[in-house]
Amino acid sequence: MDSVRTLIVGAGVTGLATAAALSDRGDDDYLILEADREIGGWCKTVKKDGFVWDYSGHFFHFKHPEIERWLVDRMPGQKIRVVKKKSFIAYKGRFIDFPFQKNIHQLPQDEFIDCLHDVYFARSSDVKADEKRAALPATNFKEMLSARFGRSICEKFLFPYNEKLYACDLATLDVDAMGRFFPYADLTDIVRNMKAPDNASYNATFTYPEGGAIEYVRAIASAVRPGAVAFEEALVAVDLERKVARTTRASRAGGSREIRFDRLVSSVPFNRFVALCGVGSDDEPSTWAWNKVLVYNFGFDRKGQRDVHWAYYPARETAFYRVGWYDNIFDADRLSIYVEVGFPKDAPIDARATRERVLDDLKREGVVSTQKLVAEHSVVLDPAYVHVTARSVAEHKRIAALLKERSVWSLGRYGRWTYCAIEDNIVEARELVESW
């Protein structure tokens, strides 16, 4: 039987960052299992006919300058663009500045009055924002939105957009389903923004390498011991008591390869990892919900809209919920976009049929006019966004504690079953290694 001090499952950002942190402290006794043929997870880049696309828009916005420097130092010769975000909501033929709730004054007058009236009576203006949040009677995400912003803002944007994004009933999500990433605003913020615009958010400035997001992944991988990744080898089962993992690779003695470990770090979606470990209760599948996202990357022969990096599309008749403009990041002369369409986790996806509807909607929304499509790519992200519910939070906490007792950790967006930024995965991996 093979043995290793640290077994890492998944060669995406989280797994590679864990291995890099181990190497940084002189511990190279680790192995990374990766079911795919290459590193990156969902953070892969496609290059086709002169276009550079990711599996979806992966833009880095750093809170930790030391992490950014560490990455950039490992990307010699790679030009990195620093971009001040320009994002909007497409609403009835016009662009409204993001976030919608702080820019209702840009709506037609009657709709602005409706929104301002409803948000005023939804929440008292003389209570501090943190006190408001604590006092909310909401028990789920949909109730929170209504209590905080009122009917009009919710019906015009917050409900339809998030229903398209998550492809579910928002009442099933936890009040804090998006954590620090939701753009909260109180009445004072909304009124102040009418005279002194301040639409800053956690990703107001982002960076992007000219070689695509995969360059950041390769930078992390450059700090990993050569030969440490076992490609096309997936985890099949984990025996927690024996601390033995079984994989899809055949062993020298016949049968599946078994690897004894002292500790294990996984970035596999938590529901799948729990099943591989044989922990959890019989009714647990209902606890873990998520959605799929069909991503189209389209390249056209001529430039389209300028001064926009991505836009949100709440209209229910429009197939997609978001479009991003790579050409405006690269200052390129050909329109290059990604388009995202959400689906429930069990929904069948007909990429060809949806493609025709998406292309029609792109024209109707004014993203495309007379440009000719010259290159394309599509991919289904499954899972895409996990659904953070009160039950998933409680079960994850319970099972994670059980796993930790056996020196097993589940990290990353899918491993922690949460909503987070890419940098958060690097921070989390480093903190874990430092704790050992």
65-69: average pLDDT: 93
Please count the CA atoms within 13 angstroms of the CA of 195 that sit on its side-chain side: 3
Mean pLDDT of 29-57: 96
288 pLDDT above the threshold of 60? yes
pLDDT for the residue numbered 184: 82
Summarize pLDDT for 293-312 with one digit per residue, the tens.
Answer: 999 999 999 999 999 999 99
- Predicted confidence at residue 200, as pLDDT, reads 67
Average pLDDT over residues 237-252: 92
Range name among 10-14, 207-211, 277-281, 421-425 with the lowest pLDDT average = 277-281
pLDDT at position 127: 46
pLDDT of 125 above 50? no
Confidence class for position 255, pLDDT limits 50, 70, 90: confident
Give the Cα separation of 373 and 362 in Å (integer): 12
pLDDT, average across residues 306-326: 97
CA–CA gap between residue 97 and residue 311 (Å, rounded): 9
Is residue 131 very low, low, confident or very high in pLDDT (cuts 50, 70, 90)? low
Predicted pLDDT of residue 366: 97
pLDDT of residue 189: 87
Look at residue 124 in the predicted model and tell me its pLDDT.
Answer: 52
With a cut of 70, say whether residue 202 has pLDDT above it.
no
pLDDT tens figures, 338-379: 999 999 999 999 999 999 999 999 999 999 999 999 999 999
Mean pLDDT score of the chain, rounded to an integer? 92
132 vs 265, higher pLDDT: 265
pLDDT band at 58 (very low <50, low <70, confident <90, very high): confident
pLDDT at site 126:
39
Q: What is the pLDDT of residue 274?
A: 94
**Residue 111: pLDDT over 90:** yes
Per-residue pLDDT tens digits for 257-267? 999 999 999 99
- Across the range 395-404, mean pLDDT stands at 96
pLDDT at 233 over 50: yes
Does the pLDDT of residue 273 top 80, yes or no? Answer: yes
